[in-house]
């Protein structure tokens, strides 16, 4: 029997038309809803401090926005499910600049964002079963994702020169809550801990999808740690500028890049695993305006092929990328996967990209085949020593499914 729970009559109408946020209880069963939104692309606004609790399953129908000055608190063990919808009707949780998301799960009670088609229940989570009972961990594009925006600096420009704020991808330009960027590096958008985001990345336009977790101009007072992204159609995590640090991240079975950085993100990602993504393991782009800042990626392990999924490139950078990469292990590498620069420049001409203890699990005599440069840059070598501390990922679906073995 389908375990998706019957919708309560006490739906909370936060916006217009069919765009609603609904909670579910444990009474009766019915088929998952198939409502695709109102068609107008308008956002559902959370305009007062709100708490979502683990005794309900929350259904997102459209773009749900936490507005400036408002806090959304999500309690440990809570399940949030997004209905289908594409283009301007894509379902997503958007935290606007000045809004706050307090989503603090626990190792035995994670917060799970997933599709409305997922039959996972609060009882499953309470019993320690974090896997979907009906969706494979490769099913993607069923809803949008989680987008957090802030007022920290970004590097962006238009035809008139530098700009300090821009519209985040995936949000219609008609929605001012999609703006991010500013001049507040210590901006605080809240706390995210032990959060799993699954089956997202719906199409919002030709060749354009929503990331699992999008961070636009997020400041360094924000806490983001213990995050899992499973089967997102686009990137796992993408940073657009900002200063926030992120730690203890698993990206598994995503349809594009594992970790993607843009617009001079000035932060660190520390302790991570990337498994079986089909784009680049890392796509690390440079500044898009005159503001320049570098970021650091450190202490990670990457499976370049997994369960029939092959990653395109090991590391991909631009000619103006600014990033320090250290203590990263790449395994299950196949022919054609490389550390590369977009325009095939030698790394000697990309001075702001540095490598330290980057280990490729290949024969040392063949190392040059996996670096798109006549000379292997200092800091890249053959090796077989995993670099991530995977013990902190025991709570994830990836761990429960055996995806972390060998790392």
Whether residue 319 lies inside any domain: the answer is: yes
Q: Can you say whether the dihedral through the CA atoms of 362, 363, 365, 366 is positive or negative?
A: negative
Residue 42's pLDDT is: 62
What is the number of residues in the chain? 407
Average pLDDT over residues 359-378: 95
**13-17, 58-62, 135-139, range with the lowest pLDDT:** 13-17
Whether residue 407 lies inside any domain: the answer is: no
Tell me how many domains the chain contains. 1
The tokens of 13 are what? 């109408």
Angle formed at CA 255 by CA 251 and CA 256, multiple of 5 degrees = 80
Task: Say what the pTM is.
Answer: 0.91
Q: In which domain, by residue range, is 86 found?
A: 5-400
| Closest by CA position to 7, among listed 19, 31, 24, 20 | 24
Residue 231's pLDDT is: 96
| Closest by CA position to 94, among listed 216, 251, 205 | 216
Q: Which residues pair with 84 in a beta bridge?
A: none
Sequence-distant (6+) residues with CB within 8 A of 44 are: 14, 15, 16, 19, 20, 21, 61, 62, 63, 64, 65
Residue 206's pLDDT is: 58
Whether residue 393 lies inside any domain: the answer is: yes
Residue 324 burial by CB count (10 A; 0-12/13-18/19+): exposed, middle or buried?
Answer: middle
Whether residue 46 lies inside any domain: the answer is: yes
217 close to 181: Cβ distance less than 8 angstroms: yes
Q: Which residue has better confidence, 8 or 218?
A: 218
Other C-beta atoms within 10 Å of 301: how many?
24
Whether residue 406 lies inside any domain: the answer is: no
The 10s digit of each residue's pLDDT in 100-150 is 999 999 999 999 999 999 999 999 999 999 999 999 999 999 999 999 999
Residue 171's pLDDT is: 86
DSSP 65: E
The 10s digit of each residue's pLDDT in 218-264 is 999 999 999 999 999 999 999 999 999 999 999 999 999 999 999 99
Average pLDDT over residues 35-47: 61
Angle formed at CA 366 by CA 364 and CA 371, multiple of 5 degrees = 100
Whether residue 313 lies inside any domain: the answer is: yes
Using pLDDT thresholds of 50, 70 and 90, give the confidence band for residue 31.
very low
Whether residue 167 lies inside any domain: the answer is: yes
Whether residue 84 lies inside any domain: the answer is: yes
The 10s digit of each residue's pLDDT in 137-173 is 999 999 999 999 999 999 999 999 999 999 998 788 8
Residue 205's pLDDT is: 62
* pLDDT of 383 above 60: yes
| Closest by CA position to 283, among listed 258, 248, 307 | 258
Which of helix, strand or coil describes residue 213? strand
The 10s digit of each residue's pLDDT in 175-231 is 999 999 999 999 999 999 999 999 999 987 656 778 999 999 999 999 999 999 999
| Residue for token pair 């995050």 | 227
Residue 41's pLDDT is: 53
Strands 5-7 and 21-29: antiparallel
Residue 366's pLDDT is: 96
Q: What are phi and psi of 233, to 5 degrees?
A: -70, -30
């Amino acid at each position: 029997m389908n375990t998706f729970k019957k919708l309560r009559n006490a739906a909370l109408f936060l916006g217009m038309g069919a765009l609603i946020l609904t909670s579910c209880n444990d009474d009766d069963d019915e088929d998952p809803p198939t409502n695709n939104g109102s068609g107008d692309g308008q956002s559902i606004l959370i305009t007062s401090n709100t708490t979502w609790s683990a005794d309900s399953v929350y259904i997102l129908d459209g773009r749900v926005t936490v507005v400036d000055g408002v806090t959304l608190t999500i309690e440990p063990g809570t399940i949030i499910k997004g209905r289908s919808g594409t283009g301007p009707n894509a379902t997503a949780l958007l935290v606007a600049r000045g809004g706050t998301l307090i989503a603090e799960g626990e190792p035995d009670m994670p917060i799970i964002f997933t599709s409305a088609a997922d039959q996972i229940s609060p009882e499953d989570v309470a019993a320690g079963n974090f896997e979907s009972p009906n969706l494979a961990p490769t099913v993607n594009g069923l809803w949008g994702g989680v987008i957090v925006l802030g007022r920290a600096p970004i590097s962006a420009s238009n035809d008139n020169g530098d700009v300090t704020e821009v519209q985040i991808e995936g949000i219609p330009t008609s929605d001012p809550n999609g703006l991010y960027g500013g001049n507040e590096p210590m901006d605080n958008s809240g706390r995210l801990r032990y959060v799993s985001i699954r089956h997202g990345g719906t199409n919002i336009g030709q060749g354009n999808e929503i990331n699992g977790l999008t961070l636009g101009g997020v400041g360094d007072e924000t806490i983001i740690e213990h995050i899992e992204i499973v089967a997102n159609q686009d990137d796992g995590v993408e940073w657009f500028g900002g200063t926030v640090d992120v730690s203890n991240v698993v990206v598994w079975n995503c349809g594009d890049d594992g970790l993607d950085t843009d617009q001079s993100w000035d932060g660190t990602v520390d302790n991570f695993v990337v498994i079986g993504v089909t784009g680049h393991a890392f796509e690390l782009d440079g500044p898009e305006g005159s503001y320049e800042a570098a970021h650091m990626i450190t202490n990670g392990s990457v499976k370049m092929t997994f369960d029939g999924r092959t990653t395109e490139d090991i590391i991909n950078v631009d000619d103006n990328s600014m990033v320090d990469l250290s203590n990263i292990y790449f395994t299950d590498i196949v022919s054609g996967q490389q550390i590369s620069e977009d325009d095939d420049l030698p790394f000697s001409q990309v001075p702001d990209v540095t490598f330290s203890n980057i280990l490729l699990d290949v024969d040392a005599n063949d190392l040059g085949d996996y670096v798109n440069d006549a000379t292997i840059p200092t800091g890249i070598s053959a090796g077989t020593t995993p670099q991530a501390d995977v013990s902190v990922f025991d709570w994830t679906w990836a761990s429960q499914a055996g995806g972390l073995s060998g790392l």
